[in-house]
Structure 1
Amino acid sequence: MFPARSAAAEGGSGAAGDGANIRASARVAQLYEQAATVTRQYDTGRREAEEQRAIAGRDEELLAREHGLIAALHTDLGRIARVQYGQSGGLPYTAHTLLPDSAQQVIASQTTLARLDLTVGNAVIRSRLAEARLAVERARASARWRTLQKRNGELAAMQRRLQAKLEEARWALQRQADASASARTCRGAVHLDQPRRKTWPSWISPVEAYRLSAGFGSGGDHWAHRHTGQDFAVPIGTPVRAVGSGRVVRVTCGGAFGIEVVIRHSGGYCTQYAHLAAVAVGPGDRVATGQLIAQSGTTGNSTGPHLHFEVRSTPEWGSGVDPVPWLAAHGVHL
């Protein structure tokens, strides 16, 4: 989970209203992680259910094969008996033994038939044992599948409830963010517990799951000139990550970009994260690659929930370069 803590709790100071903002941010972060956890559990359970269903299906095929084998063995035994009976002329066994010229042939035929009968009988026994074992395995697989289906149904219901709560919490957070942006007053930073990961690559994408929307240089009615960044369509409250290590040079609230964070990286380039709902850093903070720095939103001149991401040669607007090839050159392929 990513529970939120106030700056004041860590020795900082917060402005009036920070408490409500922190609570809203924490609520979104906690529900976001809970929903993600349930989704992962549901996906895992669904895959397991499919595997158990496949196992039960394979056992059904093997059972059918064993039934066919037993039937074939009985058929073969009957055919062999008829052949042997025909070769003996249809006479009773006792009659054949009284005839010297056929005694050896009858004994040999009856011995062969007895051996075949024993072989077929043993095969039938083995087949029936295999059939019983497969029946037990099929029953277990079917029971496991039913249990998983029931559990997946419960997880799906829990997922729907969490999504409903999360959606409500997201818009509560957004309303507070809009009020902050309208007043051009930044609330205190909400510090988020960081994801547990030992190492990160040097550079990563600003959000983990996304859909690319407006790209660099595209036209539109919501900006005066060409689009200066790359938009990532994500829900309100999505954790936003620093794409690389650096230092926060700006946190502003208000204007076209709404709530935004700008980070300067080694080599002089800066990255901007805009239209946010909450920030988790302040000016001058050092950040590491992958560190959670904000929660996405739709403040400022925004058409809907998304993260506006820019790469600039300076901290100022107007110095942007296309983020997609820039990230690709740093090993991040969107």
Structure 2
Amino acid sequence: MRLTRRRPLLVAVLFCALAVLAARPADGDHAPGHGSSSVSGEVARLYEEAAKATEQYEAGREEAEKQRARAQELEERLDGERRETAALHEDLGRIARSQYRDGGGLPLTAHMLLADDPDQMMRGQRVVQQAETTLDQALERSRKAEAELARDEAEAAAAWKKLEERNEELATLKQDIEQKLETARWRLQGEADASVAAGACRGAVRLDQPPTGFTTRWVAPVETYELSASYGSGGARWAKRHTGQDFAVPIGTPVRAVGDGRVVKVSCGGAFGIEIVVEHAGGYYTQYAHLAAVAVDQGDRVSPGQWIGQSGTSGNSTGPHLHFEVRVTPEMGSAVDPVQWLSGRGVPL
């Protein structure tokens, strides 16, 4: 199976909740909707909060990683300074011990008078002075580095603690929102099951369409998915062979029209549960089945990527997924391989 992800599944969950609460009354023989604007506003608010919490949580995790890397870099730099200072201490200690053995306690004038080679003695004295100067400089650098590291470590520790606390808060917020959305998602499915049992659709839930910006004529029926049962596969739930391609997605995932077309069927009964059939140019039809809600009515024109419904598990279904089918007539029994059909139109799955 090929896994494709382009947008978090949280969007699908949120919009499924929106569908539960914002369904409008349908015309004719459709049953009335049960949503309310106040609850719909609450779902929209949860959507905004969840998106913001997710963004902030990920940003906090990224910043925490940077803080850890920075602290490690500082510690490594200070370790280098410490090793350099220790080496200088050792060098100076050897020089001092040598001086002591050679009478280093005498005044410099006495050394010059007693030395066999005063010039050599002076050169040795300059070496000692240079070593002492180098050591003093190294010690000063070490002290500054220690002080800088102490400040940076304190700042990093405070920042890290704050980030951890904030991330814990955001994680709790995300969990709370997701629990509420999970409840809304199954409320949506409950209404879908009731519609299927009654054989009457509740009517289109006109979702706000996001800007698509598609530059292609054809798209996949869902944006984020995992392929499950394929075309032609066998199974006890099908009379002969599976006639479409299944996309394993959570309840409420926005389902998209794969191309330009006209809605020729919206049905809410039978093995396919809630389904939509769209007619396309060239004599082909696409079916979207086991939905939890529809966002179009029969006769509507649709464009590539337009949200036409939301996935579910209505009808003869073992779990949440979208059943996508391509046919040469509006009715079942004329299906072709949808994966090859889409691939031939530049949409690999």
TM-score with structure 2 setting the length? 0.83
Hey, which bits of structure 1, 4+ residues long, moved more than 6 A? Answer: 21-30
- 1:113 counterpart letter in structure 2: V
Per the TM alignment, residue 329 of structure 1 is displaced from its structure 2 partner at its CA by 2.8
Cα–Cα, structure 1 residues 219 and 37, in superposed 2: closer, same or farther, change >3 Å?
farther
* 3-state DSSP of counterpart to 1:101: coil
Cα–Cα, structure 1 residues 53 and 265, in superposed 2: closer, same or farther, change >3 Å?
farther
In the TM superposition, what whole-angstrom CA distance separates every residue of 1:227-246 from its partner, at most 9, and x where no partner exists? 11111112211121222232
Cα–Cα, structure 1 residues 48 and 180, in superposed 2: closer, same or farther, change >3 Å?
same
Cα–Cα, structure 1 residues 324 and 248, in superposed 2: closer, same or farther, change >3 Å?
same
- The match for 2:80 among 65, 69, 88 is 65
Partner of 2:90: 75
Partner of 2:342: 327
Partner of 2:5: none
* 3-state DSSP of counterpart to 2:121: helix
In the TM superposition, what whole-angstrom CA distance separates every residue of 1:282-307 from its partner, at most 9, and x where no partner exists? 12222222221111111111111111
Partner of 1:101: 116
- The match for 1:155 among 170, 183, 199 is 170
How do residues 139-288 of structure 1 correspond to structure 2 at under 5 angstroms? 139-288=154-303
Question: Percent same amino acid at aligned positions?
Answer: 58
Cα–Cα, structure 1 residues 65 and 245, in superposed 2: closer, same or farther, change >3 Å?
farther
Per the TM alignment, residue 262 of structure 1 is displaced from its structure 2 partner at its CA by 1.5
Q: What is the aligned residue count?
A: 330
Partner of 2:325: 310
Deviates more, 1:57-66 or 1:285-294: 57-66
In the TM superposition, what whole-angstrom CA distance separates every residue of 1:120-177 from its partner, at most 9, and x where no partner exists? 2112322332333333333333332222221221122112212221121111111111
Cα–Cα, structure 1 residues 56 and 68, in superposed 2: closer, same or farther, change >3 Å?
same
Determine the C-alpha separation between the residues in 2 that align with 1:23 and 1:270: 38
* 3-state DSSP of counterpart to 1:272: strand
In the TM superposition, what whole-angstrom CA distance separates every residue of 1:244-283 from its partner, at most 9, and x where no partner exists? 2322222111111111112223333222111011111112
- 2:323 counterpart letter in structure 1: H
Contact 2:24–2:33 (Cα < 8 Å) also in 1: no
Contact 2:31–2:201 (Cα < 8 Å) also in 1: no
Deviates more, 1:18-27 or 1:244-253: 18-27
* 3-state DSSP of counterpart to 1:294: strand
Determine the C-alpha separation between the residues in 1 that align with 2:47 and 2:327: 30
Deviates more, 1:137-146 or 1:113-122: 137-146
- The match for 1:17 among 32, 38, 47 is 32
Contact 2:214–2:304 (Cα < 8 Å) also in 1: no
Determine the C-alpha separation between the residues in 2 that align with 1:66 and 1:163: 50
Q: Does 1:114 align with 2:129?
A: yes
Determine the C-alpha separation between the residues in 2 that align with 1:182 and 1:53: 57
* 3-state DSSP of counterpart to 2:315: coil
TM-score with structure 1 setting the length? 0.86
Query: Structure 1 unaligned runs (5+)?
Result: none
Determine the C-alpha separation between the residues in 1 that align with 2:98 and 2:279: 94
Contact 1:253–1:259 (Cα < 8 Å) also in 2: yes
Cα–Cα, structure 1 residues 251 and 41, in superposed 2: closer, same or farther, change >3 Å?
farther
Contact 1:25–1:173 (Cα < 8 Å) also in 2: no
* 3-state DSSP of counterpart to 1:18: coil
Determine the C-alpha separation between the residues in 1 that align with 2:170 and 2:96: 60
- 2:231 counterpart letter in structure 1: F
Partner of 2:9: none
In the TM superposition, what whole-angstrom CA distance separates every residue of 1:203-248 from its partner, at most 9, and x where no partner exists? 3322222222111111111121201111111221112122223222
* 3-state DSSP of counterpart to 2:116: helix
In the TM superposition, what whole-angstrom CA distance separates every residue of 1:63-87 from its partner, at most 9, and x where no partner exists? 333222222222222223334555x
Query: Structure 2 unaligned runs (5+)?
Result: 1-13
Per the TM alignment, residue 91 of structure 1 is displaced from its structure 2 partner at its CA by 5.7
CA RMSD of aligned residues (A): 2.9
Cα–Cα, structure 1 residues 199 and 217, in superposed 2: closer, same or farther, change >3 Å?
closer
Contact 2:268–2:274 (Cα < 8 Å) also in 1: yes
